[in-house]
Amino acid sequence: MDACTDVTICPMTEADLDEILLIESASFPHPWNRTHFHDELASAHSFPLSAFDGRGRLVGYICPMLILDEGHILDVAVHPEYRGHGLGKLLVEHVLAACRQRGAEFVSLEVRPSNSEAIGLYHRLGFVETGRRPRYYHDGEDALLMEYIFREEEEDTDAV
Ligand SMILES: CC(C)(COP(=O)(O)OP(=O)(O)OC[C@H]1O[C@@H](n2cnc3c(N)ncnc32)[C@H](O)[C@@H]1OP(=O)(O)O)[C@@H](O)C(=O)NCCC(=O)NCCS
């Protein structure tokens, strides 16, 4: 895959979970299990999304939730063979736009301080570091808390 021009992002379904669980296991030391994804599919606050390439292969996914004006990204991963082509950026940008459309004032997420690839992506998209949650992960690693705050002035400028 050379670019993300041929990618479709759509609501995640039960039928996607076998492939998603494979990507999840290849992506995290403590991967979510099927129940985690079922819970996201069933939650009224969540709108999990899957990304497919032009041949219908599931290449990534993202699990956002929105409560009142607070968006949160719980999980995001791209198939290892498809990384570095802008798909992660596309998924996060899609969620930022969807959260904004649904009334979010900001979108937050937790990330391991050792995950420099993800942190670099979030910085480039405009997320800022807002805190640290000590020993947040199962193995005792802290979590970095990052937030994207929507600015009305920028949106006004973009609209001109
Ligand atoms: C974090 C993750 C989702 C990023 O996905 P991705 O598709 O690789 O992200 P992007 O391609 O948008 O950006 C990553 C890099 O590719 C580069 N890139 C973007 N478009 C590109 C293109 N057309 N060709 C080559 N490289 C490109 C980006 O500039 C970025 O480079 P850099 O970080 O080396 O400076 C992915 O690495 C992943 O699944 N990791 C495991 C799970 C994980 O850690 N999730 C985050 C939990 S908080």
- Residue range 50-103, pLDDT digits in tens: 999 999 999 999 999 999 999 999 999 999 999 999 999 999 999 999 999 999
pLDDT class of 38 with cuts at 50, 70, 90: very high
Active site residue 110: yes
Domains for the chain: give ranges and CATH numbers. Answer: 8-159 (3.40.630.30)
Q: Which amino acid is at 20?
A: I
Q: What percent of the chain has pLDDT over 70?
A: 92
Atom of ligand 1 nearest to the CA of 117: 33
Q: Which amino acid is at 115?
A: N
Q: Are 49 and 62 in contact (CB under 8 A)?
A: yes
**DSSP for 46-66, written as a single string:** B--EEEE-TTS-EEEEEEEEE
Which of these is catalytic: 110, 129, 136, 141?
A: 110
Averaged pLDDT score across all residues of the chain: 94
CA of residue 119 to ligand 1 center, whole Å = 10
> At residue 160, does pLDDT exceed 50?
no
CA of residue 110 to ligand 1 center, whole Å = 17
Active site residue 61: no
pLDDT of the residue at 152: 78
Ligand 1 contact via 88 beta carbon (within 6 Å): yes
> At 116, phi and psi to the nearest 5?
-65, -30
Tell me the whole-structure pTM to 2 decimals.
Answer: 0.91
- The length of the chain is 160
Averaged over 28-57, what is the pLDDT?
A: 97
Which of these is catalytic: 61, 82, 122, 148?
A: 122
